[in-house]
Structure 1
Amino acid sequence: MSEFPSDDPVSISYDSDSETHEVRFDPDAIAPSMAIVEAMAGILDTPPTELEPLVETVDPMALDRLVNGADEGTDRTLEFRYLARRVTVHSHGIVEVGAPSNGD
């Protein structure tokens, strides 16, 4: 049974100490790549269609295969930069989005 309501497959919280957003998503309800786009739209308060396409940063299909392909009990992690932020995706349904950077 999922801990997320069916109409909201992502849940976003903010930690002001680390300046990081933690996004929880149900991998059975939404692909990791779509969870990232939904999360960034929520964080930036922008419609998803107005964001730079994720495919310009990372291959969404490869990201989904890598994250969804982890064995039970194993955590695969992928980190990349998207929209001037560090994004870390964990195979257990968590995405961490760092504070904006000046582009290192």
Structure 2
Amino acid sequence: MDGTVSGVEVESVKYPQDGTVRTQFDQANTPASMAVIATLAEVMDTDPVALDPLHSTVDPEALDALGQVRNGTNGDIHTTFTHEGHEIRVHSYGVITITLPEDEPLVEKHERGVGR
């Protein structure tokens, strides 16, 4: 599914039953740091500017550079960090996986159509 998450173009947003949210974004047009904040804001059903600054957890420039290191021979490079109580994994091939805290109601968000 193509769409917009908090104003950022993404190729897909998936809400698997295991409590994770997966977003794929176009690294050529969207820095990883922006895609992380946009996806996290969507998951938390809040405005991106209401979130803690990403730089309080991880270096946004280093995160953005992660997407620029992949060439066919390097395979996947990824980093994992926690921001706003969510475990976030960013892959060099343009995928973000956010693991929801156990107390966050994934089913309610999916039923409302958040991210679809």
Unaligned runs of 5+ in 2: 104-116
The alignment yields a C-alpha RMSD, in angstroms, of 2.2
Work out whether residues 9 and 25 of structure 1, in 8 Å CA contact, stay in contact via their aligned partners in 2: yes
Q: For the residues of structure 1 that align with 2:52 and 2:14, how far apart are their CA atoms?
A: 22
Give the direction of change, closer, same or farther, for the CA distance of 1:8–1:50 in structure 2 (3 Å limit): closer
How far is the alpha carbon of 1:66 from its aligned partner?
2.5
2:23 maps to 23
3-state SS in 1 of match to 2:67: helix
Deviations 1:10-57 (A, max 9, x none): 2321011x1100011111110011100000111111111111110000
Contact 2:36 2:96 in 1 (8 A): yes
The aligned residue for residue 76 of structure 2 is 75
- Contact 1:67 / 1:77 at 8 angstroms: preserved in 2? no
Deviation, 1:70, is 2.1
User: Bigger CA drift: 87-96 or 62-71?
Assistant: 62-71
Point out which structure has higher relative CO (alpha carbons under 8 A, 6+ apart): 2
Contact 1:4 1:26 in 2 (8 A): no
Question: Percent sequence identity over matched residues?
Answer: 31
Alignment of 1:10-89 (within 5 A): 10=10, 11-16=12-17, 18-73=18-73, 74-89=75-90
TM (norm. structure 2) is: 0.75
Unaligned runs of 5+ in 1: none
